[in-house]
Structure 1
Amino acid sequence: MASAIQKIALNASRDIPFNRLVLSQSNVRRVKAGLSIEELARDIERRGLLQSLNVRPVLNGEGAETGAYEVPAGGRRFRALELLVKQKKLVKTAPVPCVVREAGSAILAEDDSLAENVQRVALHPLDQFRAFRDMLEKGMSEDEIAAAFFVVPTVVKQRLRLMSVSDKLLEIYEQDGMKLEQLMAFSISDDHARQEQIWEIVSQSHNREPYLIRRMLTEKTVRASDRRVRFVGLEAYLAAGGHIMRDLFEADDGGWLDNPTLLDRLVMEKLASAAEDIRAEGWKWVETALSFPWGHTRDFMEIEGTPVVLSDEEAARLTALHSEQETIEAEYAQADEFPEDVDIRLGEIEQAIEALEERPVSFDPVDMARAGVFVSLDTDGTLQVERGFVRPEDMPLEPEDVASDGDAMDGIEGYDDRDEPEGMTSQEIEPEEEDGLKPLSDRLLTELTAWRTLALRDAFGANPHIALTELLHTLVRDLYWQVSGAGCLEAYVREIPLPVHSPDMPGSLPAHALRQRNEGWKHDLPEDEDAFWLWLDRLDDTSRIALLAHCLSFGINALHESSHGPSLARSVRERLARADRLATALKLDLAEAGWQPTVENYLGRVTKARILEAVREARGNEAADRIAHMKKSDMAQAAEQLLDGSSWLPEVLRTKGFAGQLEAGGIQICASDSSEAIAVE
């Protein structure tokens, strides 16, 4: 015969006046955590007490009940009620719902207190999201929901943002098949089909990191920080019907624009409008583009303009600004730093002075009638206007009109279509695919090393110490090795043209920096030779060294060249070895300089084996295996996406002796002069 199951009896519940309750010393909670007593009191004031207190009778010395009760479990609620009594929002005799444990119970008071605090389960984020959603649908605002739960409105917005995630993915998360950070990454997009497609891909991979999900969801978008967006403006894009994808859980730098076609149309419309305004100035022609190719002004003659003279009002304004600047600097000459408001004012003064001193240029209408303007976007999203260029067919016919061909200041780009090797097309035709790590073609090597030369010039020109060291090394070598020469000083810089280049070079960071540095010096240099000598003689040492570094940078040559004969091959090897030493001294990192592998500049130009080698180094064996079955063109496209942001570089672009970290893939490449070691973390 089965024994009867013993039935339990629950503790009695009743209301006890608050002034008969005291906080028990057996309460285990000592450290303040979570919602403050003040916030809890406001919540009780709004919605009442949701949970009873756990109490025990207080006994006297003889073991008899005194009529008072101690509170071992529910101490924070007791303190919140006590605060409401002090604030006279609750009478001290107000009845409080209590669960009463009998006197002399075998269960310790500490046991009850510990159980109440330990045996509670935090609300699942998905349940919180659904509750917020229900409250929103029933008429509460986001701010009201935040106030009710003592959280900032951002938390409510973040939880409600999960409404944009596919129900299928929410179910996977609910069943612990996905982490909260991954779910939050999917909330960037409202496209449920795309979300599910990406989860299908990443769920089969070892890499399910949120950053990868975000990147895959935004791969066909444009960042809000893009120069095109800054040029057009987010307001214009939204007004035209565009949509912005935002990440409420991570810093998103303004978000992503999911309609690049609309953005490009708005950019070209605004460029065309600007071009019409500029054409009205009287120019013969105006050309517009997002960016012009490298060396686009090489074959043009540039007409001279005259800076517009300051008006009397502008001159007086400039004098007053300089006077105010000098007064402030004199007043705080002994201070360690300027007060914040004074520092802000000095910044405003400097901007105003710069705006007045950077004078617009006027041109002769006769010259304008045969010249034109290039209008494009600068790297910072501002309008770049290059005025005063005359096409070869519009140049005046003058005898012996020969342009100077050693002017480093005018030849910054270093590219001349006339230097293109005879018979070579603008894009080298890829030979039939071969197995194995086939050597890189001479043209691709030249393009890659042209990129490196450009970045090396920028780094060299920005580092006067290294530039001076290299110059002195060259001069001393020529002196002591008895290299023949003529003249009182045969030290010179010959600008090295870059005969071929990849399409991404003109808009690159080094190219922009070189142009900016060149234009700055060109603006300051006197035109008269004698005046220039005096100007140079009076220049401070820091500026002299900076100018020296800039001039020397045009002679930097780290180019690969096809070698025909042992002497030329040895000469190229020696040149590249010196370039390696210089790159190491400058800590040159081509990834930081802006080079990244694309189909156009590398991946579409090498064999499948080299593509897989690149992906394997940057992203691991599994990533390489996932694309190994693809055709060459598809593999190159997929590799470009995988390598985006990895900082991976071909061996020819790596700086020897300088460690580069491929952060995204966890690959560390440590290169030395003799070998390379690749370690997967």
Structure 2
Amino acid sequence: MTEVIAYRLDQLIAGDAVNVRPQDEEVSELVASIRAHGLLQPLVGRLRGDKVEIVDGNRRLKALQLIDSDDDAADITTIDKVHVVLRLGEDEVDAFEVSLAANVLRKPLHPVREFEAFADLIEKGKPKEEIAAHFGIPLRAVEQRLALGRLHEDVRAAWLEGRITGEAARAFTLVPAEQQAAYLRKAIETDEGWRLRADTVRRSFTAETVEADTPKVRFVGIEAYRAAGGGFVADLFANEPDLTDSALLERLANEKLAAEAARLKQDEGWGEVLFGNEARTYEWNRITKPALPDSEKPARAIEIEARLLAIAEHRDKLDEALLEIEDEDRLDEIERDRDVLLDEEDRLDLELEALIEAQTWLRLTEAQRSKAITTVGYNRDGKLTIARGYTRSKPKAEPKPTAMAAPAPKPSAGGEEAPEPARLSAALVDDLALTATRAAAHVLAGEPRIALAAFVATAVTWGTPLRFDNKGRQQGPSLPWPGRSHQTEERFGKVFRDVLGWDMDALQKGAAKVIAGTLDFTSAALAYHSYDSLKADAVTDLRASLPKEMHRAALVQAFDPADYFSKAPKQESIIAIAECGDDPGKYAKLKKADLGATAARLANARAWLPATLRGEVFDAVLPAEPEAEDQDEQAGEHEASAELETAESAAEAAQRIWQDQERKRLEELKTPDVRAEFAARGIKAPFGKSKNQMIEMLLAQPAETEEAA
């Protein structure tokens, strides 16, 4: 049974328990609409004591309350009473069902119909500004709706039928209606559905324009382009509309570069300062850059260095504070301060680099600079770039080097000096080198011992004839020589001869170490060319082939639970606790850090591995050790062993009790005090570890010390 009754606003309360919508929804547009049009639909409620609880219409109630609050502040009254459809004798379940039905059965207006209605309002004389005020939306939003409402009827029909998306419809607004229809018709007639994708539509209509987010536009600047009379694409849906005059943009960029070139030529005395196609630095030589003594650093550079040092110290303090503070508001404040420092640091780094670069090249004499070339340009961020110290002269062309060295001429039998060999062309020498490569490759393929020796030697030297490139992570045991780097001085021939002396067993083990160093299961291996991108099934096949027990033990050894849970979501700690056989509900009230510490303790005890590490090869944890009583039942004759097992379990229990007490004590300390615990125990404090990681290391230390003793 229902009836419509008018109530004062203070008699109405929100139906939180029976309302399916969240109570914190934004209602500013609804406020504007009610002010302009009044309450178009009555609320629905039920009696709750001396109040009326709203079942349907809580957003409208919130908007009415905001209007009434504003009216009280302005000492005016615009809301007298509110009409409510009162549902009598309705329990909470029925009330919730009514709220659900009111929201589920309300069919939303298709965007096309909404935008057509906005266009009709304009045609009937409503100003855009008034529509924006009445609906509580920005004027730009009204203009966007009008543009979509004026789409060609065929485009609107395609949107209604689902053949194009709303994003594609917005792209169609870039051109007149006739052009919209022609494009749509061609795409449909040729059955080329890809032409109706939003990005394709936009590119088709903006082929002659310049995107605002390009290096050249950033270099010139939008305001400079606008001031020069540059036009823009009338795109109501872009934060930065495309530029229409590419020729003007090019001229403005060249003028800005020319001005900078003139300044450098005047101030620094370079013979030429070039840009654009004339800046062919790839054809020139570059003068050796002089050194800049500290005594000649500009005063501003010294000032910047001091400020950068202060910023680094301040940032370190903020980083320490982030590890200790738990108050969310304070953490947000520290993060903001840190971001400000990082921005200042980046800006000062760029300024310092430019100052030092300019001052360094000014150490050349005026005569040297007057014969040299500098170039100017801009980078991807639209920032000015300057490259100083080039010369046009090129060294005399030399024959291309080759790895095939010709033997020295031998003297004749009569002691006469052998004639100088003919000078072959570089191309011919390279042909010979390819022939030698082909022959050696065929022979080497049948000599596994020599091939393995060359393979191992190549892993630790440069310039070898085996041209493989190891992009692996360089993990696992190492060879007797350090891995090759810029400091490598080992010669291939010497290492090769040493390895040839190994027996086959040592040779195979050495090759295995090299191959192990090439492994990489990380995302870096996905960045290679598509044909060589890392495949998940290949990783699984390889991991599954390794000795299972040894492989799992190595994973447990390499895995750091404390570090993992400090970075993983809270849910991962809950999953780990459950997989370790404990009840996560016991720890429900713990904060993320404490829950992670608990999970880390259990993971260490049960040799737990996360799903990503165990893959399809391993279980989450090692099987639990059998209880002492079970062992007695299975093997009663080994009572002594059972007693020993019981004693060991008691010791482990005592260890766990100590660890729990010690953990609680350490967690109450601040990070610097936890670090000081290492010094108190005569251990070097670890660098770069979090508080939780250091606690886990301290808890593990007594056990490790006992074992060592």
TM interval, shorter chain, is 0.3 to 0.5
Higher relative contact order (CA 8 A, sep 6+): 1
Greater per-residue helix proportion: 2
Give the TM-score of the pair, scaled to structure 1: 0.46
Greater per-residue strand proportion: 1
Give the number of the structure whose alpha-carbon radius of gyration is greater: 2
